Amino acid sequence: MKKNDLALFFFPASIAIITVLSAIMLVQQFSKFEKAYLREATDSIIQKTDLATQIITPFIESENMEEAKEFCLQFSDQPSTLRLTLIDSQGNVLSDTKENSEIFDNHLLRTEVQRALAGTPEVQIRYSSTLNQQMIYYAKPINSVSGQTYILRVAETNKHVQEILSLAKLNLFFALLLGAAFITLLILYIVHRVRRPLVKLQESAVRITQGYLDEKIFIPNSGIIRDLAINLREMEEKLREQLEYVTHENTERELIYQTMGEAILIINRDGEVLSHNHAADHLFGIQQSTPSFNINRAGSTELILLVQNAFEEHKKIEKELILSRDGHELILYIRGSLIIRQETPCLLMVITDLTNLHKLESFRIDFVTNVSHEIKTPLTSILSAVESLEDGGIHNPEYAEKFLSILSQQSKRLNFLVQDILSLATLEQRQNSENKNFTLFRMDSTVENAVNACLAMADENNIELQITENTPLEIQGDCGYLEEALINLITNAIRYSKSPKVEISLTQEDKEAVIAVRDFGIGISSEHTHRIFERFYRVHKERSRQFGGTGLGLAIVKHIAKLHKGAATLETAPGKGCTFKITLPLHQ
């Protein structure tokens, strides 16, 4: 039995103990009453025997036995419970108050008779077979003048007292039986109406604490536990609602925490990272298999000192620093403040990666500088030609024709530059748009159109254009943009490669279409390959401007490829020519 059960059964057990103790006390009291009654009866019968002896002794001493017998018989007419029996020394009954003396057997062996003959009278209590009841006996010797010894025995029934005691014992037995029945019924009630519902309530509570929140609290149909069970179920439902609300909030908070672009870390005084999000995993290379990480392994002494100072000086931190990671330098903006987590001071640190922002800012500055420079050059030439014409050159046909040629050439160059800038802006806008208005078209036909558009330029430069392979493939996209990209690649090969031949091919690799423009010219050194697709980047600036290039052609090619979820790449080596490729996903 459990301790809780012991507490539950304490009340009926107490009643049972009190009942048993009361019964023991009553039995003891009955025993004392019986002994006291026997002592009183003993004293009474001795006194009565002594009195009867005093009356009958003169008759026996004078051997007047008839008077003596008559004295014994006269008690039969009295309502007294006393019984007198006169017995001779041989045990023969001479006279008896209740019965005819002739029917008695010899009384010599009776205990009270033996005691009287021995001179030590003693009260005896035993069952009388003659009267069929419990009797108290006391015998006393009487000597006659002739020396004959007689025994006067006095007997008195204790039937009334025995009946009272028997009735009391019977009542006590029934009282104990009734108490036992009451206790049994009480225990059964506690077991069925209290203990079992409590056990089921406890089992439901254990299941809930184990995480089974859908567990329903048991409610009995009746009993004193019903109201408690109903209140517990209401409490459970409210607790479940609160828990669902908190869980939902925590899930949302964790989702926000994990999807934030900033790296968030919670660090203790020893530098151990107690919590971190996915951005921090990516920034510091924290593996999911080994999530334990110490900020001392971040690879930045400045960052470590920053964390130490935050704990020592107990103030917020805000600083921009550089972190080397995989051969690259990351520009990080760090903010942090101390918080209390589980009664322990910790540092909440938010790290923003400003590397791309700085690159964009640098790119913006470079772009503005390059655009300004590219526009300034033709504008300067146009303004100079206009000033010369205004200064009188317009009246000299030779000078006028020269300056007009400069105006035309530089205006076209400026127009090409503006058109390319607008094309890049349009491409970037379409990349960010969900509706790109693509159509399904044959890419092999686009390749033929681009080559045909560049034949005249190739003939002027004595360069052979050859389509080595043109696989019929269907592309989902903008055929005009892809034709423009291919023309840009072929034009660049004609202008700058110094190759006698340019090969164009369209092939399929896995689920992608690969457009390749290959020349066999001077090639490009490796120092330029990673920047070749940047805006306004030129390998040979003077030669590019000489041929009227804007420096945006390859940047346009890259953005057209990205618009079609593809990529533009370069394979080259000095003296071995170049192979520009556009890889595009095929229509499924």
Per-residue pLDDT of the chain (588 residues; tens, 9 = 90+): 455 555 555 666 677 677 777 777 777 777 777 777 778 878 888 888 888 888 888 888 877 888 888 888 776 555 556 788 888 888 888 888 876 666 677 888 888 888 888 888 888 887 776 667 778 888 888 888 777 888 888 888 766 666 777 777 787 778 778 877 887 787 777 777 777 777 777 777 777 777 666 667 777 777 667 777 777 777 777 877 887 888 788 777 777 777 777 888 888 888 888 888 888 887 777 776 565 788 877 778 888 888 888 888 888 888 888 887 776 778 888 888 888 887 888 888 888 888 777 776 666 666 666 666 666 667 777 777 777 777 776 777 776 777 777 777 777 777 766 776 777 777 777 776 666 678 888 899 999 999 999 999 899 889 999 999 999 998 888 888 899 889 989 988 888 888 899 999 999 988 899 999 999 888 888 777 777 877 767 665 554 455 445 677 788 888 888 888 889 998 888 888 899 999 998 865
- CB-based contact 76:83 (threshold 8 Å): no
Which CB contacts under 8 angstroms, 24+ apart, belong to 55-58? 56/86, 56/142, 56/152, 57/142
Structure tokens at 259: 């999807």
Q: 331-363: per-residue pLDDT in tens?
A: 888 888 888 887 888 888 888 888 777 776 666
Q: 419-456: per-residue pLDDT in tens?
A: 767 777 777 777 766 666 788 888 999 999 999 999 99
Strand, helix or coil at 119? coil
Q: 446-460: per-residue pLDDT in tens?
A: 999 999 999 998 998
User: At a CB cut-off of 8 Å and minimum separation 6, what does 505 contact?
Assistant: 467, 468, 469, 470, 514, 515, 516, 518
- CB-based contact 95:87 (threshold 8 Å): no
CB atoms within 10 A of CB 298: 20
